[in-house]
Amino acid sequence: MSQELCFTSARRLARMIRARKVSASEVMRAFIAQIERVNPKVNAIVTFLPERALKEAKKLERKGARLGPLAGLPIAYKDLIDTQGIRTTKGSLVYRDHVPAEDHSLVERLRAAGAIALGKTNTPEFGAGSQTFNAVFGATRNPYDPSKTCGGSSGGAAVAVACGMLPFADGSDLAASLRNPANYCNVVGFRPTPGRVPNYPAANAWDTQPVLGPVARTVADAAFLLAARSEPSAKGSMPQATATAAPPEEPPQVFDGS
């Protein structure tokens, strides 16, 4: 049952949690067990917060009906995205021990939607490169053949999703950093239109080339996560339109990382 939950689509998991067919704690324990089993082989999740995530899952269960669309679903943020109180290295020795004092607006938004941070995913130094390795955490391996590259720079996110360690994940794209690892790992990486997902804080708020986007096992789940990221914001850029509904659900691809 535990591994089955890990390969259940994100949209279905969210419905099951809301209908109380499964608890948020149950779901979180399943993903924690999958990470502990598979991640040592692929090195996709580089900061892992199981105790913190379980605590948040139990807190969410006490909220009753007041649940957001992503309530109880685990997520890991690309290690470029600032997370308050959680180490964010940007894949660089310069930031090896860096712990941000505030959250990126994306983290605030997904937390408000009910998603629970389970850790950070690997990226090349400062996200610069189409392979995922750095001097802080080493290389992330392709889940189908560990001797091959997983692509980059959102390689940690793509591998974690392909291996069932997350139902979906956060990524970013300037020159195929979402699309490249998704292709290498047989998952979906979507580069949204610039401005669709607000980006604050950003080094250059007027630079529309890098964008924030989702990684998932199906198009439907990618759209589900994108919808939660795409509301207008007083911080950062404003989207051209608001995402509303995901397309019909598709069966998830199953790969366990072995």
**Which among 172, 177, 230, 233 is annotated as catalytic?**
177
52 burial (CB, 10 Å; 0-12 / 13-18 / 19+) is middle
pLDDT greater than 90 at residue 239: no
The string of DSSP codes covering 55-124 is HHHHHHHTTTT---TTTT-EEEEETTS-BTTB---TT-GGGTT---SS--HHHHHHHHTT-EEEEEE--S
Residue 249 falls inside a structural domain: no
183 burial (CB, 10 Å; 0-12 / 13-18 / 19+) is middle
Please state, in angstroms and rounded to a whole number, the distance separating the CA atoms of residues 174 and 107: 20
Residue 258 falls inside a structural domain: no
Asked about 177 being catalytic, the answer comes back as yes
Q: 162 is in which domain, residue-wise?
A: 2-229
**Which among 78, 90, 154, 230 is annotated as catalytic?**
78
Residue 172 falls inside a structural domain: yes
- Distances in Å between the Cα of 16 and the Cα atoms of 22, 58, 223, 246, 256 are 6, 16, 18, 17, 22
pLDDT tens digit string along 199-222? 877 666 667 789 999 999 999 999
Asked about 78 being catalytic, the answer comes back as yes
Q: What is the mean pLDDT of the chain?
A: 89
The string of DSSP codes covering 130-160 is SS-EETTTEEPBPSS-TTSB--SSSHHHHHH
pLDDT, mean of residues 240-255: 40
Query: Is the omega angle on the peptide bond into residue 201 within 30 degrees of 0, that is, cis?
Result: yes
Please state, in angstroms and rounded to a whole number, the distance separating the CA atoms of residues 125 and 241: 32
pTM above 0.85, yes or no: yes
Residue 257 falls inside a structural domain: no
Asked about 59 being catalytic, the answer comes back as no
| pLDDT value, residue 255 | 43
Task: Please state, as a whole number, how many other Cβ atoms lie within 10 Å of the Cβ of residue 43.
Answer: 20
Please state, in angstroms and rounded to a whole number, the distance separating the CA atoms of residues 63 and 65: 6
pLDDT tens digit string along 67-79? 899 999 999 999 9
Residue 202 falls inside a structural domain: yes
pLDDT tens digit string along 94-132? 999 999 999 999 999 999 999 999 999 999 999 999 999
Residue 245 falls inside a structural domain: no
Residue 105 falls inside a structural domain: yes
Using pLDDT thresholds of 50, 70 and 90, give the confidence band for residue 1.
Answer: low
- Distances in Å between the Cα of 61 and the Cα atoms of 6, 53, 113, 119, 168 are 19, 13, 14, 20, 21
CATH number at residue 80: 3.90.1300.10
**Which among 9, 105, 153, 233 is annotated as catalytic?**
153
Instruction: Give the three-state DSSP class for 38.
Output: helix
Number of domains in the chain: 1
Please state, in angstroms and rounded to a whole number, the distance separating the CA atoms of residues 78 and 60: 23
